[in-house]
Chains A and B, each alone.
Chain A
Amino acid sequence: MYKAFPKSLLFLGHLLLAGSIVISGKAIDLENHPGKAIYQKLCLECHGATGEGADDLDVDPLVGTRTIESLAGRIDRTMPEDEEHLCVGDDAKKVAEYVYHAFYSPEAQAKLQPVTTELTRLTAPQLQNSVTDLIGSFLNPGHNPEITNRGLKGSYTLDDRKRAGNNDYKREQFDRIDPQIRFDFGSGIPELPEGKESKMTQFRITWRGSIYARDTGIYEFTLRTRNGAKLYINEHDTKLEPTIDAWVAPNNEVREESEKVKLLGGRRYYVTLEFFKYKEEKSLIELLWKTPHGPREPIPNRYLTTDHSHPVFVAQTTLPADDRSYGYERGSSVSRVWLDALTSTAFEAADHVIKNLDRLARTKDDDPEREKKLKDFAAEFTSRAFRRPLRGNERDLYVEKHFRETESLEDAIRRTVIYGVTSPYFLYPGTSFDSPRGPWARASALALSLWDSLPDQKLRNHAQNGNLEKPKFVEQEAWRMLHDGRARNKMNGFFEHWLELSRADDMAKDTQKFPDYSDGMLTDLRTSLDLFIEDIVWSEASDYRKLLLSDHLYLNGRLGKIYGKPDLKGGFQKVSLPAEGRTGVITHPFLLTAFSYHNNTSPIHRGVFLTKNIVGLPLKPPPEAIEFEDSKFPPNLTMREKVTEMTRAKACMACHSMINPLGFSLEKYDAIGRWRTEDQGKPIDDDSVLRTDYGNQIDIKGPRDVAEYAANSPAAHAAFIRQLFHHATKQPLLAYGVDTEDRLVEHFRNTNFNIRHLLVEIAVTATNPSLPDS
């Protein structure tokens, strides 16, 4: 299982330094390295034998991500302190090489202090999805195929009833598929198929099918109608209470009735909408929603399908946000708020199971085998929660005991469910397996990294049959699992994280300067960005470079007016704005808006984002936090001039020599991402020279150069891979071997930067964590 390793660098360091290290097929003899002697003479006094530094001298440990060249340059210029001439040129290079391989690089650190997977609990999305699938797995095999048959199926019944109590009236019936529910019938009746005429005056329509929820969160559904309507979301039994009951329609007035429902993303939910018009003069019906990030709109056709869906249990409890301090969400802490939310989730799950017990356990009230079936159900439930078969006395401990100690079978099931959801074996998947590379652990790793959930029936079968011992099989399974709404949801989550999309939450702008800005516009921009990304990621090529280089943008009518396509009408269309030099996500107006001040651009925010997330260069926290105060500068300065002035100090320039050129490259887009050519009446200069940590200089003339640099830079590729890896596995990349990052970078290049290939490769890698003992 998981063992902690001694923290002492010194102890392990000496053991390892005695040996030699193999890098890229070439052995480096560290013991007799020429840099070692120089290090011991000139550096050891302050930096320590293995670069551990010294607290009393205020010397930090020598660890980091610079290249050998960059280290050499730095040593040449700055070391030893006050005697810089002692170690220059070739000597500096030798010391750099020694330091790099002995302890500085992440790989060297990983050897000194092996990184293993950390024991973490399920994150909030993992917990929600796992509970949903734990229950759902008893109803369906666990796959959520993507939407194919779009629209909802409408069953229309027209009649000519004129007064009450008259049962002698004619009817006409037909079915058809409606792309959206958005009808104003006026004083008329629905159109009949094939242009038929009808004398009918009253009608009823029942629409059935499913809606697809892209994201996890609160969905507000709205019925807009003059007549009688009932909406059922995720509820098959129309005898039960509707989600929205608008059956009684006073005055034939247009009413709107709304209800909020929490849904998990990447899944389909069954929907029924019943509608009737009786004697009222006019009729109108619209089905709208407001998604977690979207505008209120009639539910678009691409989220509606005529396909059936099984009931999905979604706990409505809100779980607290997970720790993101490592740059990705991890289940690395527990709190009372978390425990309470967990318990409340368990209660909801128990209620749901009890309510649907006979269906889940395939039994009924008068079944003579009911007790046995319920016990078997409880055992299977617990086993699925543990992600492996029960062993030893576990069935007695976690199943039979509940039946012995309770008065009714239902109470025993209630306990089983509450235990299943709150059990450490469920919450900390790492504790459930003997070996992290065993078949059940592998099934769990695949399901968590691709779905944030539990293994489905197929995966469980493969684990049972020993198929997951074979790497080829693991890869095949990963590809199968990618064709699932849950995998899409997981991928969406990555982009949300990588592009820091939540920055735009509750973003406000100076409405005097930007009268076009509104919440509605911002949600449109978010949709535009989502469409752009999905288009690329789920196309055949799934090419990472297109995310940075593609010059098109999705705009609708409202956005067209703001972003230079005033003639655009209606919904989202792909457009190109050749004069504006747009290039992929980095010039998408949503991100430009998010990385700006309320009244101006922010080259620093934009630059930091580009440096870390896109170009993949490391940044240290600023030596002192200085707030940008616009009023401190003469008013006629451009933004570029202000930022240059503000970051002039040498201490700032260590990082701002990278941040500023990247940030300035986007100066031709204002605080809401509109194209501009002037700032303060002066033409905008977006050219700069970027000096990287790796010692090279790059001319940057606008954002396209930044995008091309990132698209072709191994450092950028590695940064992208690391972020996707962490998002998928919630574990440090180094815990899967020191050379894994290099291997993934190469794989990425060899597959023409195919993002889906990469995710599959990551999921496969996740099934092979380093074993602590090896």
Chain B
Amino acid sequence: MNALERSLQNRRQFLRRLGITGAAAPFLSGLPGMSSALGAQAGSKKRVVIMFSPNGTIPDEFWPEGEGKDFKFKRILKPLEKYRNRMTVMNGINNRIGGDGDRHMRGMSCLLTGTELFPGNIQGGSDSPAGWASGISIDQEIRNFFQSREDTATRFGSLEFGVAVPNRADPWTRMSYAGPNQPVAPIDDPRKMMEKLYGKMDDKESLVSVVDEVRTDLQKISSQLGAEDRALLDKHLSLVRDLETELSRSDEDTELAHPVPEVDPTIELVNDNTPRLSRIQIDLLVNALANDMSRVATLQYMRSVGQARMNWLGIEEGHHGLSHEPDNNKEAVEKLTKINEWFCGELAYLVERLDQTPEPGQDGSMLDHTLVVWLNELGKGNSHTLNNIPFVLIGGEKSTGFQMGRYFKAPKDTAHNRLWLAIARAMGHEIETFGTAKYCEGGPLDLA
């Protein structure tokens, strides 16, 4: 490393630290300040992260062989082999919500809400047109619960991450709802997420050098002025000096347990960058949780009916188109298996990052305190079934008390509302029903 590179490196590090000192506070959209001091919270910290991937799975390659503690992974879940003792594969969970909207729409917008869509004007490939979901989603329900209590409230409450989510708002692109008719848009631009979390790094970087130029100009001009005119410029000059001092102040008052990850400022939001964007978003997500900015997060890949072209897997066809191919199209099945393996790999990376990060101020790793849920809007792509949706739960043992390391087969016709009830209860939120009440019959699923 030569001197220039070193100096750039140092400056980057310096600026990275700067981003967390609050030195340039007025220019930040907010500070990463925490609501509760690290390590001061009562009891074990509880978090939930929900990851979505679209268009159904390939059941033969997804569902393990065996049952209970005795099971064997097939291809799709292989990337999670290392965590088999820390996860539960949930078979037999159905999204039983009926009513308006095609199954992709209901699959997506009733997935986390557990309730019907309003009738509306958005027409799918079949069934009647529909509008937004008529209720709150489970992530937002838990968020509101956490935010209502001093010891669990955080700066954001929840964070909604996206990866390659197309820029349109309809029941196929939104799974998170703050309430009836209130879809929450995921942020799929890491730069925007970065700004939301830590303020604008590149602006601050530019400002440091520009402030220097402005100060020099002001000094030069001021020296040529008469006393009266100079007074105004000198005031300006002293304000600029103050700003400069603040910008260069060391990071003594660092509050963050984890430094801000670096985001390539030039990365474009295009299909072929999806693998890189995915990793950046996961890094930002883990970081935000580590800094206790939020205890609830969603991570949405594409959208229901998404047509991602996964060139990085050597697959040129759009994902949704492929998912309609019949089971006897071996080539399509192979490609869809690869696609789902890739999603599982991203999940594995998320889980690994959580596992490798010690829980700030508490025992164990972040994974011990974070329940990760992976889900899909369909059970199977070409049948559009909402039954037997591939749910996977990982980690969070210290906060949920769920029994892990098993292949769980739910009783017949189990509505997914009961899973949400179980998770809400595990987070300490003692609700009796969630979503449409009739699907909560039997109460929370017993996962202990």
Mark A residues whose CB is within 8 Å of B.
1-5, 118-121, 164-165, 227-228, 239-241, 245, 247-252, 276-280, 332-336, 339-340, 343-344, 347, 350, 397-398, 402, 405, 407-408, 410-411, 414-415, 418-419, 422-425, 428, 431
Contact = CB atoms under 8 A, between A and B. Distances in A.
Given A343-B26, A419-B213, 11 more contacts: A4-B229, A121-B236, A251-B119, A251-B120, A252-B121, A350-B206, A410-B265, A414-B203, A419-B210, A422-B210, A423-B213
Contacts of B167: 239-241
Nearest to A413: B206
Nearest to B240: A339
A339 B213 contact: no
Interface string B214-244: 1001100100111111001101100110110
Contacts of B119: 250-252
A583 to B, nearest CB: 43
A2 B225 contact: yes
B79 to A, nearest CB: 34
A350 B122 contact: no
A249 B131 contact: yes
Given A248-B131, A334-B236, A335-B239, A340 B206 contact: no
A3 B131 CA distance: 69
27 contacts: A1-B225, A2-B226, A118-B228, A118-B229, A119-B228, A164-B102, A165-B126, A241-B167, A249-B121, A249-B131, A250-B132, A251-B131, A280-B120, A334-B236, A336-B242, A340-B26, A340-B27, A397-B213, A398-B213, A410-B265, A411-B206, A418-B207, A418-B210, A422-B210, A424-B217, A425-B217, A428-B221
B229 A415 contact: no
A424 B214 contact: yes
B127 interface: yes
A232 to B, nearest CB: 13
B2 interface: no
B202 interface: yes
B118 interface: yes
A278 B27 contact: no
Contacts of B33: none
B328 interface: no
Interface of B: 8, 26-27, 102, 117-127, 129-132, 134, 167-171, 181, 200, 202-203, 205-207, 209-211, 213-214, 217-218, 221, 224-229, 232-233, 235-236, 239-240, 242-243, 265-266
Given A340-B26, A405-B209, A248 B239 contact: no
A165 B125 CA distance: 6
Given A228-B121, A247-B170, A339-B240, A423 B131 contact: no
Given A240-B167, A334-B239, A347-B203, A419 B214 contact: yes
B144 to A, nearest CB: 22
A760 B186 CA distance: 53
Contacts of A252: 119-121
A670 B183 CA distance: 51
Contact of A278 (B117, B121, B221): B121
B126 A415 contact: no
Contacts of A408: 265-266
Contact of B232 (A334, A397, A398): A334
Contacts of A4: 226-229
B266 to A, nearest CB: 6
Nearest to A340: B26
B123 A278 contact: yes
A120 B129 contact: no
Nearest to A276: B121
Contacts of A118: 228-229
A447 B27 CA distance: 31
A3 B239 contact: no
B299 to A, nearest CB: 21
Given A247-B170, A279-B121, A347 B27 contact: yes
A332 B225 CA distance: 15
A344 B126 contact: no
A333 B130 CA distance: 57
Nearest to B221: A431
A340 B239 CA distance: 10
A245 B169 contact: yes
Contact of A249 (B8, B120, B207, B243): B120
B15 to A, nearest CB: 12
Contacts of B27: 340, 343-344, 347
B410 to A, nearest CB: 32
A425 B217 CA distance: 8
A228 B202 CA distance: 38
Most buried by A among B120, B122, B266: B120
A332 B232 contact: yes
A518 to B, nearest CB: 31
B184 to A, nearest CB: 13
Given A118-B229, A332-B232, A340-B26, A414 B121 contact: no
B239 A336 contact: yes
A739 B123 CA distance: 75
A200 to B, nearest CB: 16
A119 B121 contact: no
Contacts of A277: 121
Contact of B233 (A350, A402, A428): A428
A251 B168 CA distance: 20
B121 to A, nearest CB: 4
Nearest to A118: B229
A279 B122 CA distance: 9
A1 B8 CA distance: 41
Contacts of B218: 424
A424 B236 contact: yes
B124 A164 contact: yes
A228 B131 CA distance: 10
Nearest to B129: A279
B243 A339 contact: yes
A248 B121 contact: yes
Contact of A2 (B229, B239, B243): B229
B347 to A, nearest CB: 28
Nearest to B217: A424
B321 to A, nearest CB: 16
B44 to A, nearest CB: 39
A244 to B, nearest CB: 11
A251 B118 contact: yes
B210 A248 contact: no
A424 B125 CA distance: 60
B171 A248 contact: yes
Nearest to A7: B228
Contacts of A339: 236, 239-240, 243
A245 B242 CA distance: 43
Nearest to A242: B169
Contacts of B127: 164
B217 A423 contact: yes
Contacts of B221: 424, 428, 431
Contacts of A278: 121, 123, 129
Contact of B126 (A164, A347, A402): A164
B232 A279 contact: no
Contacts of A241: 167
A31 B210 CA distance: 58
Contacts of B168: 247
A334 B235 contact: yes
Q: From A4, A250, A415, name the one whose CB has the most chain B CB atoms within 10 angstroms.
A: A250
Contacts of B213: 397-398, 419, 423
B131 A415 contact: no
A431 B236 CA distance: 14
